[in-house]
A and B are shown apart, each in its own frame.
Chain A
Amino acid sequence: MIAPDQPLTFYGTPFASRMLIGTALYASPEILSQSVKASGAGIVTVSLRREAARAKTGQRFWELIRALGVTVLPNTAGCRTAREAITTAEMAREVFGTDWIKLEVIGNDDTLQPDLFGLVEAATVLAKDGFKVFPYTTEDLGAADKLLAAGCDVLMPWGAPIGSGRGLNNPYGLKTMRNYFPGIPLVVDAGIGAPSHAAAAMELGYDAVLLNTAIAKAGDPPRMAAAFAEAIRAGRSAYEAGLMEMRDMAAPSTPVAGTPFFDLGASS
């Protein structure tokens, strides 16, 4: 059993919600705002993209996000080398006014899985430069050790490829990672498609879940955001309460003693 209501803490900052959500792919800014509010998430992810002259697109989006009153976690999505990710992180720090960075160095176009070599390289440089790095990684324990040695205080392994909605592809690997790093905040990031996937991650003892597409592409995004919030709370409570051990064989739950006709056996 785990003591209940221990707040989730990233780099010394506590958060009441164990949900982080992305801000992309929503049908409109209004639906995005409603969904963030319905989720109760305390952290939202954002990005940087090329700005056209006189467009002020970024300014409008930034004002929308600021009005939500949540903590902003910029990402380096789309970066394919450590150098691109480092420069993007530096630009994000200036524009968003935060040293938090969700570090993504993409290694493969089909799976969007992280390039762990570039990730460790970029994390090392950024952490030395004062960034609070949230690395998008896999369940690879060797890479995780190197990321922690580089100065990361949190790890964000994938559940499944970004945007795939396939849930937890490797529950064994994720469970192993949880057991190997009992004191490190771990967040399942990417691949979550349904509230049940998020609940499963929380039942494994993960500290939080980061998702985007599953809410943004739902038929009713604010309602789905609320559904995820309930699932994440339920999964966390289940983890704290202590799940039963799985068994191979059936075990009757109703008492056997006093069963009527017990002595008649199956002779009739």
Chain B
Amino acid sequence: MDSLTKHTAAAPASARTIVVNGAARLSTAVTLAALLTEAGYGDAKVATARNGDFVPERLRATTLLTDGDQIEIVSPRQGG
């Protein structure tokens, strides 16, 4: 439909709604790794899941996001 974005793979895709830890955000990140950077997680010690499934750290850069994805980003906490 939009030939410009279709043929410019390096350019950011149009923003999509991604639900991160229960809160919706508009994101142009194509991959889960890019989302973590965009959202400001940097090198934080976190684990991730997409739509209820675990995504190992090594697969974040190749895990593509689609509109409406539910992402969990968790880290160590106190527990009983």
Contact = CB atoms under 8 A, between A and B. Distances in A.
Given A53-B39, A95-B45, A87 B73 contact: no
B74 to A, nearest CB: 4
Nearest to A73: B79
B74 A212 contact: no
Interface residues of A, number: 40
A71 B27 CA distance: 39
A57 B75 contact: yes
A231 B76 CA distance: 30
Interface string B43-74: 01111110011101100000000000000111
A74 B79 contact: yes
A91 B46 CA distance: 9
Nearest to B41: A53
B57 A48 contact: no
Nearest to B74: A48
Contacts of B41: 51, 53-54
Nearest to B42: A54
Given A51-B41, A83-B52, A87-B54, A58 B80 contact: no
B74 A49 contact: yes
A94 B56 contact: yes
B79 A25 contact: no
Interface string B2-24: 00000000000000000001100
Contacts of A83: 52
A50 B76 contact: no
Contacts of B53: 87
Which of B41, B49, B57, B78 has most A Cβ within 10 Å? B78
B80 A51 contact: no
Nearest to B58: A94
Interface of B: 21-22, 39-42, 44-49, 52-54, 56-57, 72-80
